[in-house]
Amino acid sequence: MRNVKKMKADVVVVGSGPGGSTVARDLTLKGKKVILVEWGKDNKPTGTMIAASKYMGGLSGFGKGMMITPEFVMMIRCITLGGTTLMYLGSAFDPPYDTFAKYGIDLDPEETAGIKRELKIQPFPDEFFGDGAKAIMASARDLGYDWNKLNKFVDPAKGKPTVKEFYFGCKSGAKWQARDWALEAVRKGAVLLTGTFCDEVIVENKVATGIRATGPGGQPYEISADKVVVSSGGVGSPTILQRSGIYDAGKKFFFDPFVITYGYLDRRLPEEIPMAGGVHLKSDGLFITDMSTPWSMYAYYAASKMKLLRMFKTRGLVSLMTKVSDDLDGLISVTGGITKPLTFNDKHKLNMGRAISRKILMNAGAKDIWYSLNAAAHPGGTCRIGDIVNSDLETQFKNLFVVDGSVIPEPWGLPPVLTIISLARRLSKHLAAS
């Protein structure tokens, strides 16, 4: 058995998604000694399917990065430096300030505005809009929907990412990815351990004092720290907490189910950028947006619905995604397995979204409309504020904090990255002050 490698830091951060990378970067810039622990490897974003398979865990990714519920709803998460931001579509929604205020979380709109300026968050310029997205916007507005451009984590000055770069990692640097801030933290002095799995948090007399982890080749680590920040996502964080003695983590969660509606316009369309515009029907729990996909994903959805001939029908292809805020239900097991039935209410919302999307596409002139299988994204609520963590994002164990989508207290239905960064920035200030 290999000897335990012992390390010490002011703060150890577990997970390098938007929450973990923000905390690691912020605290390093404030002079703290930070160790950032990431289960995955540092896979360079290249915008290819091969890279995407690596983000999800490679050949061993099934059940880790690619997860399927007993009801056959597929959910993707990335196990790589930067987390799932390597495969997110770069949409930025402001935090729901009133919701967080109910739980004692005083997120500052000015702080969020500062983050947006720092990351050049803004809608796509007109020249980035494709003809399909324009046709969908015009049709939705004609039907009375308040369809608008979406804010994006994209700096137009750095260029226009391809559709593959949105889905499979942006190599140009135009789309922000949490990996950017993780590597900046390292350049400023943080220590990064990739390929290192957090086995448990060390707790002594109800106080967190570090973590035990297993690195490449089975190397055991014991990392002592004044503060422990778990930021391993909606699936990873509750499993770490369960292994550390917080057994209610992972009970009931949301995972933003979605369905894609496809149709075909009678004209050729250039490659589209996804999620250029959309509408949030908050009272109905629906978010609908244009949703171009790489051919490989489109072909998968067609094949999974036994529409084999449509795999190669791409002329005039336009599509809409409906994402719904689902009911809190299900379980994340200590091994990371997910059980999450779609409730009657969830299914009703998805059906409503199909009907609205069909109406928008038909009004735009699209024909031969069909729907994908249900899928899901953004698992959260597994370490909810007010349940597992308090308003400082601290658990029942002193000096053990959580910051990622798992702490979001209520069903979501929207891309959460900007909200997670805002929560992490608030936590960074709290930790630096303490």
Structure confidence by residue, pLDDT tens digits, 109-131: 999 999 999 999 999 999 999 99
DSSP bridge partners of 191: 35
- What average pLDDT does range 10-26 have in this prediction? 98
Do 99 and 148 have their domain in common? no
* Residue with token string 């398979």: 53
Across 48-61, b (16+ Cβ under 10 Å) vs e yields eeebbbbbbbbeeb
Domain co-membership, 127 together with 265: yes
Q: Is 60 exceeded by the pLDDT of residue 17?
A: yes
Whether residues 239 and 138 fall in one domain: no
Say which CATH number the domain at 393 has.
Answer: 3.50.50.60
| Residue 282 is assigned to a structural domain of this protein | yes
383 shares a domain with 355: no
**Residue range 363-387, pLDDT digits in tens:** 999 999 999 999 999 999 999 999 9
Q: Bigger pLDDT: 337 or 246? A: 246
Do 365 and 267 reside in the same domain of the chain? Answer: yes
The pLDDT value recorded for residue 412 is 85
d(CA 48, CA 44): 11
What is the reported pTM? 0.96
Please check whether residues 400 and 329 belong to one and the same domain: no
Q: Does 158 fall in a domain?
A: no
The whole-angstrom separation of Cα 407 and Cα 232 is: 11
Domain match, 108 and 136 both: no
Give domain status of residue 61, yes or no.
Answer: no
Report the mean per-residue pLDDT for the chain: 95
Q: How far apart are the first and last CA of the chain?
A: 38
Domain of residue 134: give its range. 123-152+255-377
Residue 72 lies in a domain: no
Mark which of 358, 377, 396 sits at the end of a domain. 377
When pLDDT is cut at 50, 70 and 90, the band that residue 60 belongs to is: low
Residue range 160-173, pLDDT digits in tens: 999 999 999 999 99
Give the total number of structural domains in the chain.
2
Domain's final residue, options 337, 360, 377? 377
Better-predicted residue by pLDDT, 260 or 50: 260
Residues 92 and 134 in one domain: no
Residue 59: per-residue pLDDT: 55
Percent pLDDT > 70 in the chain is 98
CB 344 within 8 A of CB 351: no
* Domain final position from 377, 400, 426: 377
- How do 34-37 and 5-14 pair as beta strands? parallel
Q: Are residues 409 and 310 in the same domain?
A: no
pLDDT per residue over 388-420, tens digit each?
999 999 999 999 999 999 999 999 899 999 999
Mark whether 418 and 367 lie in a shared domain. no
The answer to the question of residue 49 being in a domain is no
Cβ–Cβ contacts within 10 Å for residue 162, how many? 17
Give residue 302's pLDDT. Answer: 93
Three-state SS for 10-54 is EEEEECCCHHHHHHHHHHHHCCCCEEEECCCECCCCCCCHHHHHH
Condensed to tens digits (0 to 9), the pLDDT of residues 39-49 reads 999 999 999 98
pLDDT band at 1 (very low <50, low <70, confident <90, very high): low
pLDDT band of 99, cuts 50, 70, 90: very high
Contact yes or no for 353/278 (Cβ under 8 A)? no
Q: Which residue has the tokens 């935090």?
A: 95
Asked if residue 73 belongs to a domain, the reply is: no
The mean pLDDT of 182-200, rounded to a whole number, is 98
Judge if 323 and 372 occupy the same domain. Answer: yes
321 domain residue, yes or no: yes
| Nearest residue to 130 (alpha-carbon basis) of 277, 258, 262, 263 | 277
The verdict on 226 and 239 lying in the same domain is yes
Residue 195 tokens, joined: 């390929």
What's the pLDDT score for residue 66? 79
Is 160 domain-assigned?
Answer: no
